[in-house]
Every structure is written in structure tokens, then in C-alpha cells.
Amino acid sequence: MSDVPIPDSQDRSLQKAFTGKLVDEYFDYSESWLRAILRMCIFSLTRIGGKTALLIECPNQAVAKRLSRKTYPLQQFSECFSSSYPASRRVLICYQDSALATWRCFDTESNSWKTWENLQIPTASTDG
């Protein structure tokens, strides 16, 4: 696996373009404010407890809090990419808390906010 190129963590242009395409394709029926907010975020997939989850990285707390109140269309969308059976509707809506050097994520599975040290290794440290 050492031949696999490692993406530059500072260059997120491909992920941003992919997110924009997904928002255009899957959320064209949604309210314009939701599409505008989602275009500020970056979508990716992660695995938690052996199940696929949609990870939405938000630019700040305000965006994450607003999305955490509108989870139904995001959960429906996440089912399209789930490799689990039954399909996972789990969504993590996250923002980086620079003061604490952690990520705060709203987890739709528990409907609560959790803190993670690193989004690549999703092990919740606290609920809150």
C-alpha cells in the first residue's frame, strides 16, 4: 500500500469540488439556504463501529449548529453511500474547535454533540 499517493491535507480542492457536485445533484429540491450552507462544507465518508457514516466538515460552529437542526435530508442522503445493511443513516456534522484543538460533532445516531481529537480516528472522548 506504500504506492498509494497520500493527498495533501492542505489542498482540499478535489473534495470541495466533489461536495459541490453532490449538493447540486442531490439537494436541488431543498431550500436554497440549505444548499448554500452545504456548499461551505466538505463531505466525506468514515466508518464507525463497522458502519459507514457521512461526515460533514463545517467551516465554523454556526454552520454546524444550523445543520444539526436539519438532519432528515442529510440522513436520507447518507443512505445512498452506505455499505452497511441495513443502510446507515448516521451523519456526523463537525466543526473544528481551535481553542481546544478538537473537533465537535453532532452525531445523528445519538442526537448529541461529541468531541473527537481527530476526525480520521473517530473515538468519542466526551458527550455534551
Each residue's pLDDT tens digit in the chain (128 positions)? 334 444 455 567 878 887 888 888 888 887 888 888 999 999 888 888 777 888 999 999 999 999 999 888 888 888 776 655 566 788 999 999 888 788 999 999 999 999 988 766 444 444 44
Whole-number pLDDT of residue 61: 94
Residues 6+ apart with CB under 8 A from 72: none
pTM: 0.77
Residues 6+ apart with CB under 8 A from 57: 41, 42, 43, 44, 94, 95, 96, 119
Rounded distance between C-alpha atoms, residue 5 and residue 10, angstroms: 15
Q: Where are the domains of the chain?
A: 41-116
**Per this entry, what is the length of the chain?**
128
Q: Which residue has the cell 455499505?
A: 83
